[in-house]
Chains A and B, each alone.
Chain A
Amino acid sequence: MEASAPSSTDRLDAIRREAQRSLFRARNGIKVLTGTGRPEVGASSKQVVWRRGKARLLHYASDKRTRQPPVVIVFSIVSRAYILDLRPGRSFIEQMLDEGFDVFMLDWGEADAVDAGNDFALYVDNYLPRALNRALEVSGSHEVDLLGYCFGGVLALLTTAGHPDLPIRNIVTMATPIGLGPLEGMIRALERGQLEVDDILDETGNVPAAAVYRGFSSLRPTADIFKYANLWERLWNDEFVDDYQAMAGWISDQVPMPGAIAREMVDLMLRRNLLAQGRFPVGGRTIRFADITCPLLNVMAESDHMVPPQASEGLGALVGSDDVTELHIPAGHIGVAAGRSASKVTVPGIVKWLKAHSS
């Protein structure tokens, strides 16, 4: 059968569609260039139920709570927590709420000069135990599930191991670095002593947000360039542009890292590799991962260029629990929590595991 030549109606339709796309491109192009019309991020309804220093425990509103225990998300200290609640339909937290969980999140805020002395002991022995007790109080539950993302997973593990009195039923770690050997980039200069933390601290005594951003973005130096090519190609698509603005906004919205904890990370995690050995000095004593006896789900992102799966894989052998599950997600470091893979694979996987491990 021969293909029929396009009719004049088809041609007119094609011209009309192209003209419309050009109009959308122009409108969205102005939005992106001027930074206007940015979608609202972190919009899920929540309440601050506890605060100490810059740390806040957020409790998310929901009329769908059917499950116990509550889930307390421990976020990383080097980026903004709203990535887990980026936009409606692109929200890890929204999905957990829809599944009936009672969700809390520990947001560490933005460090300034006052926080330059924040060390591991402050987070592990002061902030986290108090925040967890407050979550228990608010939820009326007698135990919690902990979910730590990236460096938040390290804090969650150390708190669980260092405070066996805390009623932690299950622990989930996502893209959490345990052995820093597989990490690449500038971190190797720190490991070999070519660079010291004091060389990169700013006048507040913290690692500046720009340095944190450069450290991550330097691992994919061409990403920004080709990102613009994708944007230009899909500039006509409102949904794509909104997603782009939300994500690009978050990527450039990093926070400083307290100088004290940066020094401890380099010395103890990177140079002495103590975490990979399952022991870590905090607050004058040595915390051992072998003291973690609750069930553990270790979620790893297979395409993670910041925390490769090899940096997380050893965790199962270090904990004392005999109920350890590994979940490999085909996503990057951010995508595992905030991308399409998050909604289709990560969250369903975590929910299924938590349901199987709850009363």
Chain B
Amino acid sequence: MSRPTTTTATNGTTTNMTNADKPGRPWWRALVDGIDRRVTPVANNLVRTNTFADTVAALTRLEARLRRRIERQSTWLLHQYNMPSATDVRKIRAQLAAVEARLRDMGERLEDQQLLSTSRPPRSPGADAGQSKAKVAPD
């Protein structure tokens, strides 16, 4: 089923261009599809091999190791001039995040306590605790 694409021409009239109006396939499409058919299965199989996964893993670990080494050296240099390093900032951010997480946790516990205390029905004299949820039918 064709879905119309509506647009307004500069003279104010409206023209519809439906999928029925679509051009035939461009000349380059067959070429692209051919490359896709040849390359994509090979590429998809390659990224699913253990070799590929191990290579990316090794590169990731290497990148992390290099980053840590650069940070250590830049930290040493900055500290010589009594300046904070990215590592210092990160530690402070982590501490702040931990404090905020703790506050959030405490806030949630308080909210739960408040909900619990407001939802508990008041105990009337002689009431059976096991029937605290029973509804009393009106007369």
Question: Which residues of chain A have C-beta atoms less than 8 A from B136's C-beta?
Answer: none
B23 within 8 A of A: yes
A220 within 8 A of B: yes
Assuming A194-B53, A194-B57, A226-B32, what are 14 further A-B pairs, CB within 8 angstroms? A53-B104, A113-B96, A113-B97, A114-B101, A117-B101, A199-B57, A199-B60, A204-B93, A204-B97, A222-B39, A229-B29, A237-B17, A237-B19, A238-B6
1/0 per residue A141-166: CB within 8 Å of B? 00000000000000000000000000
A236 within 8 A of B: yes
Question: Which residues of chain A have C-beta atoms less than 8 A from B78's C-beta?
Answer: none
Q: Which of B23, B56, B94 touches A205 (beta carbons < 8 Å)?
A: B94
1/0 per residue A189-216: CB within 8 Å of B? 1001011000110011100000000000
B120 within 8 A of A: no
B15 within 8 A of A: yes
Residue among A126, A204, A229 with the highest chain B CB neighbour number at 10 A: A229
Question: Which residues of chain A have C-beta atoms less than 8 A from B47's C-beta?
Answer: 184-185, 218-219, 221
Q: Which of A20, A52, A116, A218 touches B97 (beta carbons < 8 Å)?
A: A116
1/0 per residue A115-132: CB within 8 Å of B? 111000000001000000
A-B contact count (CB 8 A): 99
B22 within 8 A of A: yes
A253 within 8 A of B: no
B94, A24: Cβ atoms under 8 Å? no
B64 within 8 A of A: yes
1/0 per residue B57-80: CB within 8 Å of A? 110110010000000000000000
Residue of B nearest to A219 (CB): B47
A290 within 8 A of B: no
B48, A20: Cβ atoms under 8 Å? no
Overall SS of chain B's interface: helix
Give A17 to B15 CA distance when docked, in angstroms: 11
33-91 of chain B: CB within 8 A of chain A: 36, 39-40, 43-44, 46-48, 50, 53-54, 56-58, 60-61, 64, 90
What is the CB-to-nearest-CB distance from A82 to chain B, in angstroms, rounded to a whole number? 23
B90, A203: Cβ atoms under 8 Å? yes
232-259 of chain A: CB within 8 A of chain B: 233-234, 236-239
Question: Which residues of chain B have C-beta atoms less than 8 A from A226's C-beta?
Answer: 32, 36, 40
Q: List 13 A-B contacts (CB under 8 A).
A: A113-B93, A114-B97, A114-B101, A116-B101, A194-B54, A194-B57, A194-B58, A195-B60, A221-B47, A222-B40, A233-B25, A233-B26, A236-B17
